[in-house]
Amino acid sequence: MKRIKYLIFMLGLMPHVATSKTWKDRGGLIKHEKIRNENWLSSHEDDHKKAIEQVLSTIEASKRGQILIARARLKARKDNKSLFDVIKVGDVSITDTTLIRRFSPSSPSEITYTTKSTVYIDRSLSMKNAVLDMTHELTHFVFKKPFNPYEGSFSLSKFMYDTIQAKGGEVDAFLTECEVALDVFGKSMLSGQCQAVLNGDEFSRRKSINEFYKLGLHYNNFLSKAESFVLDTSRFPVSSDNATLISSAWGTPYPLSVIEEYESIMGKVCSNDKKRLTYFDENKGRFPASAPSRISKMINDYQRRCKNFTE
């Protein structure tokens, strides 16, 4: 209870101090060690909604955080949800977007797509890291355009760019996380990764992009995999410099993790399409006369896209 009262008091001061550079230099808005370091669920183990609400309120102590949370609430509302419907407690922090395909029973090529996103925050985090992870994941939730791996334009090159550099991608999420960290916790509490891209009072997007493409000891492995997928690496500023930004989902630097994720996604896509084509072949007598030509096109597309992802 003491922690909640402290946060409410500090938030009441926020309009006066949120943009104060000297306040950031002194240590940010939230300085109490207990608030920063104890587990974010410790005071609300039986009520995750209150724990999530407390993290959201802390993020809103930052002007950038206020804008992000407002956008997140608006997006959730468009699906008739609140942020408490979107944000869940999990074993790892991740924004999980599920693509749902619906097929027409009478027309093989008629498909509709919808997406559903859920933000999970790692239950083991400290309050400080929960604030940073939620900022990061909500940036993906609000701004990142969901990809559709069933579209012909879904290439590794596009997936690499969209995952790391495009709007709502890893660079944007990282920079927003750093900005909120500076406002809420102060310069002295910034991670080494954020400090590496800090230019005066602003974070450099150019430096951040370069950081995300550093591969360290994984550089040669990346080049080998890139060659097998005919990826034009000259499009990206990849380097063998020491990598400090590592994908939590894959445990490797981001360029390599993108290839691994792409390979995993396409394996599932091709497996699903193979099952679908088998179904059409076994039930071809039930479809209209125009169906064979459409199915033939689907087979050609499948063979072109899945030659490297099927046994």
Residue 245, Cβ neighbours under 10 Å: how many?
Answer: 17
Residue 256 lies in a domain: yes
- Domain count of the fold of the chain: 2
Report d(CA 95, CA 137) in Å as an integer: 6
Q: What is the pLDDT along the chain (311 residues), one digit of tens a residue?
A: 333 322 322 333 333 333 334 434 444 555 555 566 789 998 877 789 999 999 999 999 999 999 999 999 999 999 999 999 999 999 999 999 998 888 776 665 678 888 999 999 999 999 999 999 999 999 999 999 999 998 877 999 999 999 999 999 999 999 999 999 999 999 989 999 999 999 988 999 999 999 999 999 999 999 999 999 999 999 999 999 999 999 988 999 999 999 999 999 999 999 988 888 887 777 765 555 556 666 777 788 888 888 888 65
Report d(CA 127, CA 211) in Å as an integer: 26
Domain boundary pick from 197, 228, 255? 197
Could you list the residue range(s) of the whole structural domain that residue 252 is in? 213-311
Name the amino acid, one letter, at 39: N
- If asked whether residues 45 and 87 sit together in one domain, one would say yes
Report d(CA 166, CA 237) in Å as an integer: 15
- If asked whether residues 24 and 143 sit together in one domain, one would say yes
Report d(CA 128, CA 194) in Å as an integer: 15
Residue 202 lies in a domain: no
Kindly report the pTM of this predicted structure: 0.83
Domain boundary pick from 142, 173, 197? 197
Structure token digits, residue 219: 């550089």
Q: Are 38 and 126 in contact (CB under 8 A)?
A: yes
Residue 263 lies in a domain: yes
